Amino acid sequence: MSLGKDGYSLPRTYRRVSRAKDKARPELRKFGWDTLGYAENFTLLPLKDTIARVDGKSLSVDDFRRDYERPRIPVILTGLTEDWPAKEKWDINRLTKKYRNQNFKCGEGDDGSSVRMKMKYYHDYLLNNNDDSPLYIFDSSFAERRKTKKLSEDYQVPKFFEDDLFHYADHRKRPPHRWFVMGPARSGTAIHIDPLGTSAWNTLLFGYKRWVLIPPNAPRDIVKPMAHEKGKHPDEGVTWFQTVYKRVRSPAWPKEYAPIECRQGPGETMFVPSGWWHVVINEGLTIAVTHNYCSVENLHLVWPKTVKGRPKLSKHWFKRLAEQRPEVLDIIKAASDAPLYNINDSSSDSSSSSSSSDDSSDESELEDDRGGRCGTGSRKRQTDEKSTGCPEKMHHSLHSNFMV
């Protein structure tokens, strides 16, 4: 299909994209989205792949917990997508044909509202943009919308992550925890830690992603770009790879904060343990799914953060766990600084059903050490992306996304 004067194949794409950009990142109205010329001059340092890869089909859940989840060691699991319908169905052309007129979240406005675009226009944009840090689909509600929920039937949560303790909370109360992710080259997530102490898994179905993971004990001021380096894209993956990455790769980088790097390919599942800093950039078009979760192995980290950041959720969740998973109460007790809730208190289920209820206003105090996770997002967003919402990672504010 030939391109029009505005550089797109569909006549309405330019207007739809312009509207989305204006809402997602109004600070670029005058500066422009392609001013830095990254489409031509952005390059990554040569790959230094240092992550362990393990056959997920032959690895037992107990061995995974012992060798990786409990000691909090990142790993790539292979062979988990062989029976997934998504392996065939999540082709860009098939997705565009099936979900052509469905809206997907590709950003977040300053007021916290979602910026959405129909798949047909995003597809056109994805193939024909020259933006320095492009819009990025990072959609957390795909499984709840009637016309897109079939996407959730195209994959299975790997056995290692099935026991998500947040499942015991009312689905209307728990924070967003799963995302359909699609973006072009140079899109990605800024350096961040996933919210509420959760761990994450990210399965790539198409394309290649570059990851850098830095140990939890690394101080915020050395993993983030310096003030003079932030420029017009302070919370975007491209900025991190242009600045901090060079220091991370230098001999002067502290050995105690040695990074783990990799190039994730199709069919590979990345495990990101609680507390690890991580940043991701797409080398080209990528399509992925990612979840955040709480297990018996990270509950001791998740519980105190949830009590502080989501008090209403924690009260409701505690009652559900006491009823259905009483064996985990010892973990909660050991991790608690305050007396535990009274499970006979009926108010624990009477709070607002919304995961973004007023208890979420404290969350930014917990997770202000991330750049976010999603596609290009709001300004508040840039204090922290996944803390209020958005594994893998920073673009749409942490308001709405728990993740990449």
Residues in the chain: 404
pLDDT on residue 61: 98
For residue 336, name the pLDDT band (cuts at 50, 70, 90). Answer: confident
Report phi then psi at 54, rounded to 5. Answer: -130, 140
Write down the pLDDT at residue 3.
Answer: 76
Least confident of 41-50, 83-92, 144-153, 373-382: 373-382
pLDDT at 338 (0 to 100): 63
Residue 143 has pLDDT above 70, yes or no: yes
Cα 255–chain centre separation: 27
**pLDDT for the residue 279:** 98
Residue 388 has pLDDT above 60, yes or no: no
**How high does pLDDT run on average in the chain?**
87
Residue 99 to residue 16: CA distance in whole angstroms: 17
Instruction: Give the residue-averaged pLDDT of 227-237.
Output: 93
Torsion over CA: 356, 393, 200, 123 (sign): positive
Residue pair 238/42 in contact by the 8 Å Cβ criterion: yes
| Per-residue pLDDT band at 171 (split at 50, 70, 90) | confident
Query: Residue 280 has which token pair?
Result: 């991701």
Between CA 286 and CA 265 the distance in angstroms is 9
DSSP state of 176: P
7: left (phi over 0), alpha (psi -120 to 50) or beta: left
For the chain, report the end-to-end CA distance as a whole number of angstroms: 32
Domain 12-293 CATH assignment equals 2.120.10.30: no
Model confidence band, residue 347 (pLDDT cutoffs 50, 70, 90): low
Q: Angle at Cα 126 formed by Cα 121 and Cα 129, nearest 5°?
A: 105
Q: What is residue 301's DSSP assignment?
A: H
This prediction's pTM = 0.88
Assigned token pair, 54: 């393990």
pLDDT in tens, 277-295: 999 999 999 999 999 999 9
| Spans of all domains in the chain | 12-293, 296-338
Cβ atoms of 192 and 384 within 8 Å: the answer is: yes
179 beta partners: 290
Q: Are 271 and 371 in contact (CB under 8 A)?
A: no
